[in-house]
A and B are shown apart, each in its own frame.
Chain A
């Protein structure tokens, strides 16, 4: 059951930017995951740690680990336990939301939270603490997770919000950096059919869009506005609002109502697949503008109570396979942020300023969040969230997004790590002021920093290197603690390890390098992840 050496593969996120190579190892069994996590931190491994990867729908570098190991968690696809009376299911972390819907919607249970794609794994949903169109009512994904099994370098244990709240909430939105989730128990929500009753209306500008969302959200379980970002002037922020709730059998038109099997069916097919990557530039302001115009005009001005299937309502883009290729070889990124209610003006400025770049930006998604959950790195907070896709390669986009980060920080908001591929370490810390709480929990379960990703390195949460195997680094951290402790429970009661010096684990060490490498001289190491950057480099 020992992990076999994997295949070196080039991996990137959904945005197809900044690929890196790693040993990809199939997580064929939970026990195998435990061993892989233990081995990754020991001499003889790649020396560059490990991260779990699901279906690769994070836009940036969250599920990449350059030069290290990437566990392909989609192999953890078992359904462990099902209680159809209570709607409680325990499944492997690699099970996709699509699988859950295919299996359980016909039996009357729907996932509590679904993002704009159902092609994400349960493990990924927890690691990103995903949200859906029902956040203002139901909160984010982890609120509905009653328990999960987490494999950490200091042991594997079942973790719940009551057994170990610190670890549970550090894992919610922790981007996989607190351990590898091998299974999770979810509370599903009851549905009678696989249809929703949807109200659609157009809003001519941003003010009316926001008004309608503020006043109408209480009346809808699912609510979202698709904004046409190509419109300017008096039509800036014009949108199509689609809002609704699950349909009961009696709500449906006769052709479905009289055929309950069809009314509960969930088996969407992929309609098409993008077969190859066209040159960047296929999506340009002209083609995208035309699409957006079409989208706006095809929407009814006002339509109430139309029955729509879940797949079309929640996941319109899942009908086209590999649609991310449309952005061409350079790839694209998604900018998603949230600002508290008082930051509504930030939404307008972001739309204005990105619109002024004349980039090919498809419809942006605007919605309101309800209260967030206790996760220090969990994204949602009450207020406005806006998400928009942007092709990369436009000169000046980098600086503009840095400026927008500054505005978001100024408004007390933050960006979503599952979408991020470019935020600076300093801006990240300003957006997530509770990051030190998170680091303390991570250090407790992973004192040597075995769990690593490119995102973690980029944001200064992970280091390039391990501290000396004997833990003799000047930081005094207990890197030499026994790594074969018997159970996770004993460890969970251990006190938190706290960094004692700002240099953290950046201590220079000689790794398993060629013998000709001379001993590393004591020298200025890279600034530690915990060292706040100088203020003048914050944000913009």
Chain B
């Protein structure tokens, strides 16, 4: 059970090898978190994430295979993990790919894959998990969105629109869960320097997985509904959202 100061005892991560998710787990385990289940593509990255969670001191740590685009397997996946591990106090939805905007514009299949992983497939997986959260009558769902979804830009509108979809989906889901004991928190980071953005020029207000994780943990503690990382982006995007299009499309980057 999550306690009065927002410390979960069990966590399920969709996208277990995500750097942000790993940084969140690293902050939860020293608190109360004993059970960590990392779902993701099987491979060295996932096993490393499992090893790290174990090293942090979690008592039950497991990596389980999960592919966001395999929508027909989502229900069985969710049934399996909740059956094996019991309740989850926290589910972190961290699966996501950045894609290659320039190349993907010329390759509809690749573009569809970004949308399928970041939005369509993931949203279906979230629904499968939410069914269990609803039944258990408690739980927090933390969805990693992005400020890129606040307003799509000409230079990354495929990724941006996928996050916009996931973000809108999560808002609606959160409202539909009012009164069920399940709460949704949406996280909108800006440019996060890490594996996903390696080699790219950092945008203004760039941040790190660790800094995002700190804000997420504080958001869980205070029961926030939306977390921006860094927090100043809330105000930056409040303005950006309303810029005239002629200005917006000329924004650098």
Contacts and interface: CB of A to CB of B under 8 A. Distances in A.
A438 to B, nearest CB: 19
Given A398-B31, A526-B34, A333 B4 contact: yes
A537 B86 contact: no
Interface string A91-106: 0000000000000000
Contacts of B32: 424
B141 to A, nearest CB: 14
Nearest to A524: B60
A28 to B, nearest CB: 23
Interface string B191-233: 0000000000000000000000000001001110000000000
Given A15-B4, A465-B86, A514-B75, A398 B221 contact: yes
Contact of A392 (B4, B60, B62): B4
B180 to A, nearest CB: 5
Interface in B71-103: 75-76, 79-80, 83-87
Could you tell me the dominant secondary structure of chain A's interface residues?
Answer: loop
Interface string A503-540: 00010111101101110110111110000011011000
Interface in A1-31: 8-10, 15, 17-22
Interface stretch (B14-22, B130-138, B151-159, B241-249): B130-138
Contact of A18 (B4, B84, B218): B4
A475 to B, nearest CB: 16
Given A21-B138, A458-B9, A526 B83 contact: no
Contacts of B83: 508-511, 513, 517, 520
B62 A524 contact: yes
B42 interface: no
Interface in B38-58: 57
A398 B34 CA distance: 17
A523 B35 CA distance: 13
B187 to A, nearest CB: 17
B124 interface: no
Given A61-B1, A464-B86, A526-B86, A22 B137 contact: yes
A393 B6 CA distance: 9
Q: Give the most central of B57, B83, B221: most A CB within 10 Å.
A: B83
A20 B7 CA distance: 15
Nearest to B2: A18
B172 interface: no
B7 A393 contact: no
Interface string A52-77: 00000000110001111000000000
Contact of B181 (A66, A465, A509, A533): A66
B200 to A, nearest CB: 32
B223 to A, nearest CB: 6
A334 to B, nearest CB: 10
Given A516-B76, A517-B80, A48 B136 contact: yes
A68 B1 CA distance: 14
A526 B35 contact: yes
Contacts of B59: 526-527, 533-534
Contacts of B1: 18, 20, 61, 66, 454-455, 457-458
Given A424-B32, A526-B60, A393 B137 contact: no
A421 interface: yes
A66 B84 contact: no
Interface string B133-152: 00111100000000000000
A513 B84 CA distance: 12
Interface string A435-468: 0000000000000000000110110000111000
A279 to B, nearest CB: 12
B79 to A, nearest CB: 4
B108 interface: no
A491 interface: no
B238 interface: no
Given A10-B181, A66-B138, A458-B3, A516 B75 contact: yes
Contacts of B4: 15, 17-18, 60-61, 331, 333, 392, 421-422
A455 B9 CA distance: 12
Contact of A463 (B86, B135, B136, B137): B86
B5 interface: yes
B75 A18 contact: no
A508 B137 contact: no
A225 B93 CA distance: 49
A463 B135 CA distance: 15
Given A18-B138, A19-B138, 20 more contacts: A10-B179, A18-B1, A66-B1, A66-B137, A67-B136, A67-B138, A330-B223, A331-B4, A392-B5, A421-B4, A422-B5, A511-B83, A513-B83, A517-B79, A517-B80, A518-B79, A518-B80, A520-B83, A527-B34, A536-B57
5 contacts: A61-B1, A333-B4, A457-B87, A516-B75, A533-B34
